[in-house]
């Protein structure tokens, strides 16, 4: 169990650019989640995968956001045409079931300048 890995740890981008983050969950976990956390707030749910199927998307996830989980393994989160309001910590978590809680990664901190 090597934990949940997220890359990159930090990303600085210019407004209007596209960015992509990667999450490698714990291998035996079939559930994968993306959250966004802004300063002084708790994480907010973005989207959820069970295996390769994206089962839920939050209303926070605008059309500029897309997430994939090909083959039910790693996941990517892409933000197109970034805006300053997208600046946040993007957290990935995985789980083997509802009652077990999540294992979180260290997050990707995005700064849009």
Partner 1 sequence: AQTVTQSQPEMSVQEAETVTLSCTYDTSENNYYLFWYKQPPSRQMILVIRQEAYKQQNATENRFSVNFQKAAKSFSLKISDSQLGDTAMYFCAFMKTGGGADGLTFGKGTHLIIQP
Q: Which residues bind partner 1 (CB under 8 A)?
A: 31, 33, 35, 40-45, 48, 55-56, 58, 89, 91, 93, 98-107
Compute CA distances 103 → 28, 56, 71, 81, whole Å: 12, 19, 20, 30
**Among residues 23 and 93, whose Cβ is nearest to partner 1?**
93
Cβ proximity of 6 and 108 under 8 Å: yes
CB of 106 to partner 1, least distance (A): 5
- Of 3 and 16, the one with the shorter C-beta distance to partner 1 is 3
Nearest to 67, CA basis, from 31, 23, 107, 27: 23
Min dist. Cβ of residue 47 to partner 1 (A): 9
């Amino acid at each position: 169990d090597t934990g949940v890995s997220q890359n990159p740890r930090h990303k600085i981008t210019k407004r209007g650019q596209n960015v992509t983050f990667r999450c490698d969950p714990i291998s035996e976990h079939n559930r994968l989640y993306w959250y966004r956390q802004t300063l002084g707030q708790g994480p907010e749910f973005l989207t959820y995968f069970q295996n390769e199927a994206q089962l839920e998307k939050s209303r926070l996830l605008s059309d500029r956001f897309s997430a994939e989980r090909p083959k039910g393994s790693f996941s990517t989160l892409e933000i197109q045409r970034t805006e300053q309001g997208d600046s946040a910590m993007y957290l990935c978590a995985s789980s083997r079931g509802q009652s077990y809680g999540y294992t979180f990664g260290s997050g990707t901190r995005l700064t849009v300048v």
